[in-house]
Structures are given as structure tokens and as C-alpha cells.
Amino acid sequence: MWLPLLGLLIGIGIGSALAFPIPGAYVKYLSVAVLAALDSAFGGLKAILEEKFDGTVLLTGFFTNALLAALLAYLGDRLGVDLYLAAVFVFGVRLFQNLAIIRREVLTAWLQKRHLSSTGGEKNG
Amino acid sequence: MKLKLNKWQLPLTLVFFISGILLVSVLRSLAASDQTPWRQKNANLVAMIQTQEKVIARLEEDIEQKRASLDSYQRVLSRGKEELQNLQNILQELKIWSGLVEVEGPGIVISLDDNRKGAEVAQAKNPGQFQAGDFLIHDKHILYIVNELRVGGAEAIAVNDQRIVTSSDIRCVGPMILVNTTRLAPPYIIKAIGDPDRLARVLGMLESEYNILKMAGFPVNLEKHSKIVIPPYKGSYQFTFAQPKEE
């Protein structure tokens, strides 16, 4: 259960330790990629809670979304259109949706659990 | 159940791991770069404050220097005032010495007059040998008496209110006596400031001019006073030939 959290912490640790410099011009694209990555991470959490999890979908979605977001932002810069705003919008909205669903799922699970414990061992499995 | 856990754990851990790396990298590079607007603004403000602080420091130094110089000026000024006061004191002293100031103090007043009674008597008794000059007060009498007063320590002397100074002359012009180029007529009043007793003692000595006149029957008189006022010398000092010797 705690493995993903551990992974996050290790990632943060390695990111801090490596500290590979990103040129100022690419920080914007990377920011969008981070948004996509977070979206995927929360999407994965949501999928687990909804019991629809698929590792392949998650991983492909994670990498392609991040890459696409960065590429779109870059393309937008080339074209002179702020396309990265589209990525920010999309991933932002999805982040909020995922977080809302996660919250609801956790809440219902918790309420169910409490209900079960209060009724006292009457569950059938 | 365990299999299901394994199924989602690894991919999710990977996703979280990479997300962590990306997140931290972006945050770090954003923090490292000075290109964020608020950072730039901060830097500008810091630079501005630093320049202002430097300016303030310079101005404070300036104030310090100005205060120091003001202090020194004031010191010089007060020293100048002191010097001025000293010079004025010296000037006043010199004026007193040269007789340019009205002075007062204890002293004696001598009055001399021609011996008219003696002259009449002598003329009546022996007209052939009568000499009018023997019964008159002459310039030398006054000159001698002035000299004796000086011997007695007189600090200021006046004859008929003509102050006797270093350049004063006392001489005879026909029937008149000239003191400081002012003609005097009898009776002659000689005032002298000094120790009255000492002055009187000097004048009372046997061979003194005053005593000789008294013995000869001239109407002379001597009075001691506790306060005599002697007027200043009204003439001028002019040095045409004498110059201070250059050292």
C-alpha cells in the first residue's frame, strides 16, 4: 500500500540530489509535463479505488500524456499560440475531477467500513 | 487479493517516482532561475535599497565632515574672539599709558601763583634793584615740579588740565607758559595721581622746587585728595622719523 508513496518520496529525493539543470526556456514545457504526470498519478489512484485499474493503460497514458503535453507546448511556442494553456486547462480540470472522485470513493469506503464495524461481524465476505 | 495489489503497485510506484523527479526538477530550476517576475522585482528592490543605503552612508559621512569643519570654524572663531579681547585689553592699557584716556584716582593738587604781594613790597622797598621776573612763576618751576612729581611716582599729571604726556613740552613764550602748545595763565593748578603721602613727601623735601617757591614767599598750596580726575591728552602723536626697528 505504501509503495507508491515511497516511490514518490524516493523520486523527490533523487530529483533533489540530481538537481540536473533545466534551461530556463524548457522549464515551461516541463511544467506542463509535470501536470500531465500528476494527472496520471491521481488517475491511477482513482482507477484503483474504482477497481478499474490497468497498469498498461496507466503507464502508456503517463508517458504519452507527459510527452504530448510538452510537445504541444513547444509546438505552440513555435506557432506563436499559447497551446500550453490548453494542456494546463485540460490537465488541471482532470486533476480536480480525479481528486474529487478519489475523495468521494475514500469517503464512501470509510463510511461503509464504519457501518460494517458498527453492525458487528454480520458481513458475509 | 495479493495479486491484485501487485498488479497496480509497481506501475503506480513508477508513475509516482517519475512524477516526483519531474516535480522537484521543475520546482528547483524555477527556484534557481532569477527569471520569475517576483524574483526580478525583489532583486531590483534589493539593488535599489542597497544603492540608497550607500547614498545614505555617503551623506552621513558628509554630514560628519561638515560637522567637524563647523566645529573647527567655531573653535577658530572663539579663539579669534579671545585674541580680539586680548588686543583690546592691550590697546586700552596702551591708551592709558599714553594718556589718551581720562583717569581718576587718589593724588594731590598743587596751586602756584605769581608772588604779587612780594613784588609790590620789593618794588616799594627797593625800586632800583626790583626785578619783576623774580616774582613770577616760570616754565622751569613747573617743569621741575612735574619732574619731582614723577620722582614721587605720579602716574598721571596735568597742568591746568593739560595732560603731561611723553611728547609734552613746557616752555615759556613771553609772559605765557606753553604746555602742549596751549597757553596757560596763572594760577597754575597741577594735578597728579599717585600715592598722595609719597608725593607730598617728595615735594616737601628741602631742596624741592615746591619748597623753594614756598620759602620764597610764593602763594603755593598743596592738597591731598582721595579722588582726582585728570583729562586725557587731546593732541596727537606723530612719528615722522622714529620707526620701529626691524628685526
Contacts of A31 in chain B (CB under 8 A): 26
CB distance from A17 to chain B under 8 Å?
A: no
Q: CB-based contacts of B204: which residues, under 8 Å, 6+ apart? A: B210, B211
Contact flag B15-A44 (C-beta cutoff 8 Å): yes
pLDDT band, very low/low/confident/very high, at B35 (cuts 50, 70, 90):
low
A74 at the B interface (CB within 8 A)?
A: no
A124 reaches B (C-beta below 8 A)? no
Contacts of B233 (CB under 8 A, 6+ apart): B98, B99, B100, B163, B165, B168, B180
Would you call A25 an interface residue with chain B, using a CB distance cutoff of 8 Å? no
Give the residue carrying C-alpha cell 620759602: B215
CB burial of residue B233 (10 Å; 0-12, 13-18, 19+): buried
B17·A40 Cβ contact <8 A: no
Strand partners, B103: B230
Of A20, A48, A66, the CB nearest to B25: A20
pTM of the model: 0.47
- Name the residue of chain A whose CA is nearest to B25's CA: A15
- Contacts A34 to B, Cβ<8 Å: 19, 22-23, 26
A99 touches chain B (CB under 8 A): no
User: CB neighbours (10 Å) of residue B111?
Assistant: 15
Is the pLDDT at B70 greater than 90? The verdict is yes
Say whether A7 and B32 touch across the interface (CB within 8 A).
no
Of the candidate ranges B8-12, B158-162, B238-242, the one whose mean pLDDT is the lowest: B8-12
What pLDDT is stored for residue A21 in this prediction? 67
Residue B186, preceding bond cis, omega within 30 degrees? no
Establish if B6 touches chain A: CB-CB under 8 angstroms: no
What interface predicted TM-score (ipTM) does this complex get?
Answer: 0.75
The whole-angstrom distance between A119's CA and the closest CA on chain B is 24
Q: d(Cα A39, Cα A63) in Å, to the nearest integer?
A: 11
The mean pLDDT of chain A is 81
pLDDT band at A43 (very low <50, low <70, confident <90, very high): confident
Model confidence at B39: pLDDT above 80: no
The percent of residues above 70 in pLDDT, for chain B, comes to 94
pLDDT for position B89: 92
Q: Closest approach of chain B CAs to the CA of A66, in angstroms? A: 10
Q: For B107-150, how does the pLDDT look when each residue is reduced to its tens digit (9 = 90+)?
A: 999 998 888 888 788 878 877 777 777 788 888 888 898 988 88
Residue A121 has pLDDT above 60, yes or no: no
| Tens-digit pLDDT profile for residues A45-84 | 888 888 777 878 888 888 888 888 888 888 888 888 888 8
Q: What is the CA radius of gyration of chain B?
A: 51
pLDDT at A18 > cutoff 70:
yes
- Cell numbers representing residue B221 in the block: 598750596
Task: For residues A59 and A63, give the distance between their C-alpha atoms in angstroms, rounded to a whole number.
Answer: 6
Q: Which residue does chain A place closest to B13, by CA atoms?
A: A4
Which residues between 43 and 62 in chain A have a beta carbon less than 8 angstroms from any beta carbon of chain B?
A: 44-45, 47-48, 53, 55-56, 58-59, 62
What is the least distance, in Å, from the CA of B19 to any CA of chain A?
A: 5
Q: Which of A6, A24, A45 sits opposite B35 (nearest CB)?
A: A24
User: What pLDDT score was predicted for residue A125?
Assistant: 44
pLDDT of residue A1: 60
* CB–CB contact A19 B25 (8 Å): yes
